[in-house]
Structure 1
Amino acid sequence: MDRIRAAARDLRDADAAVALTGAGVSAPSGVPPFRGEDGIWNEYDPDALDVWRFRREPGAFWADWLDLRADLLDADPEPNPAHEALADLSAAGRLDALVTQNIDGLHRDAGSEEVVELHGNARRAVCRNCGWTTSADDAVARAESGDLPPRCDACDGALKPDAVLFGEQLPRDALVRARELAADSEAFLVAGSSLTVEPAASLPARAAESGATLIVVNLDETPLDARADYVFRGDVTEVLPALREAVGE
């Protein structure tokens, strides 16, 4: 608790504080990670779900995407105490923004306001031709009714899940904003991320180079642990609520 209180003090005293979250924050809500021992890519072929397959065979891509999405989101996951603690910190003015690698939309459900989605959001679908967007539920309903691929209402182009696929670049605006936030932060909190996937993995290093206090909360070791001011090797659903409570003391 002494280290929690010390980290909370640094977070409370920071004029600009940012959080980066990874799969470990959503896992307690029942959202499986893509990588690791229990990862989605152990059950699905990444090549069948990359952007080149979408371009070549959009209908076949969607048939496989329906199965993957069912494993990811059809259990209707809800925010867990880690999401809620981060939203509370934001509401209290202790966290200026949240950058996430997750595509499940749970941070917004919990009430976090400025959420920078580096890898997109699986709750949306977008037309690659004209940019028209619709809810993923709408696109999925069309696909399940036999409309493979589901089509854009504006130009009849093939809709794509608005999540970043292998072979796609991250959304430029989101990446630029995330880098700005990291460079300007005085405290940078990493939660539930292995920090092995670029460019997200470089954000805490950018923050540390700018003099920010670096706080890492993760069950496993990360490549940035040696540079962190605080490392909490624990469950995010326990550590983040404890940090929130300490910030409010």
Structure 2
Amino acid sequence: MNTQIPAVLTKALRSANHIAVLTGAGVSAASGLPTFREAQTGLWAQYRPEDLATAQAFRKNPKLVWEWYDWRRSLVAKAEPNAAHIALAEMARRVSKFTLITQNVDGLHQQAGSVDVLELHGNIGRTKCFHENVVIESWLETDEVPPLCPRCGGPLRPDVVWFGESLPKHAIDAAGQAAINCDLFLSVGTSGMVEPAASLLRVAAEHGALGVVINPTRIHAPAGVIQIEADAGEALTALLDQRWPQG
């Protein structure tokens, strides 16, 4: 492992009381999960994700959208947490306060042992009622696709944030507070292009936190932010080893 950790980051790691982390699709790439906008395969090659992940598309063809998410759920079911997920779960156990914010919907952070994850875009493993917007734990198995809500009879949908929908208020509010109050803010595996999550790094830097971007390629970031061009798992494991060396 040859990821170089700047001295200023090592110092920040050793003194931080509150570390906040924002993760994106790059964190789950090593688990074999394609990013949302990567080319579709097989039966789904003819569709653009942006054309399926909307309430309008669901109203027009709920069966099609449900089956697309079924396919995506099958990919997630085969995936396992990678070194990045594991390193973040371990880091959380070693600091006074740790806030993990994710744009991912795959639940791999929780599988790796992370708790109280702020899911900005929902979770593909949960299902909710399209009409009532409440999470549904179980329903009557029939031939209906999508299945129907046991409360109101309306169609069920994945509990993810679609284009044109607002992020969960409790999650984005808590993420904003973490950005304001943290000492160190890590942005990992995300392009920094999707708002409002993209603003969190800037907010943290404006409030005195050291901002760090971990990404294979450089992104547009506020002045003073450290950029580490590396694989997420490699870089996060190097951070752990630098702050809490083994032996």
Matches within 5 A, 1:1-249: 3-4=5-6, 6-35=8-37, 38-40=38-40, 43=45, 44-45=47-48, 46-70=50-74, 72-74=75-77, 76-93=78-95, 96-134=98-136, 142=141, 146-224=143-221, 226-228=223-225, 230-249=226-245
Distance in 2 of aligned mates of 1:214 and 1:132? 36
Equivalent pair of 1:219/1:233 in contact (CA under 8 Å):
yes
TM-score with structure 1 setting the length = 0.87
The 1:39–1:242 alpha-carbon spacing in structure 2 relative to 1, beyond 3 Å, is farther
Matched AA of 2:244: G
The 1:95–1:77 alpha-carbon spacing in structure 2 relative to 1, beyond 3 Å, is farther
Deviations 1:123-164 (A, max 9, x none): 1001133344245xx67x95xx63212111222221110011
Equivalent pair of 2:17/2:95 in contact (CA under 8 Å):
no
Deviations 1:16-36 (A, max 9, x none): 21000010100000111013x
Distance in 2 of aligned mates of 1:21 and 1:112? 13
Equivalent pair of 1:152/1:159 in contact (CA under 8 Å):
yes
Distance in 1 of aligned mates of 2:5 and 2:73? 39
Distance in 1 of aligned mates of 2:96 and 2:14? 6
The 1:225–1:218 alpha-carbon spacing in structure 2 relative to 1, beyond 3 Å, is farther
Distance in 2 of aligned mates of 1:32 and 1:217? 18
CA apart distance, 1:167? 1.8
Q: Percent identity at matched positions?
A: 38
| Structure 1: 5+ residue stretches without partners | none
CA apart distance, 1:49? 3.0
Matched AA of 1:210: H
The 1:21–1:94 alpha-carbon spacing in structure 2 relative to 1, beyond 3 Å, is farther
Distance in 2 of aligned mates of 1:95 and 1:83? 17
Distance in 1 of aligned mates of 2:216 and 2:40? 19
The 1:95–1:29 alpha-carbon spacing in structure 2 relative to 1, beyond 3 Å, is farther
- The number of residues matched between the two structures is 239
Distance in 2 of aligned mates of 1:68 and 1:225? 34
Deviations 1:37-81 (A, max 9, x none): x455994322233111213332332233333444x424x111101
Equivalent pair of 1:82/1:238 in contact (CA under 8 Å):
yes
The 1:68–1:87 alpha-carbon spacing in structure 2 relative to 1, beyond 3 Å, is closer
Matched AA of 1:248: W
Distance in 2 of aligned mates of 1:2 and 1:47? 41
| Structure 2: 5+ residue stretches without partners | none
Equivalent pair of 2:18/2:95 in contact (CA under 8 Å):
no
Equivalent pair of 1:132/1:152 in contact (CA under 8 Å):
no
Equivalent pair of 1:49/1:64 in contact (CA under 8 Å):
no
Local SS of the residue matching 2:216 = coil
Matched AA of 2:151: A
Local SS of the residue matching 2:187 = strand
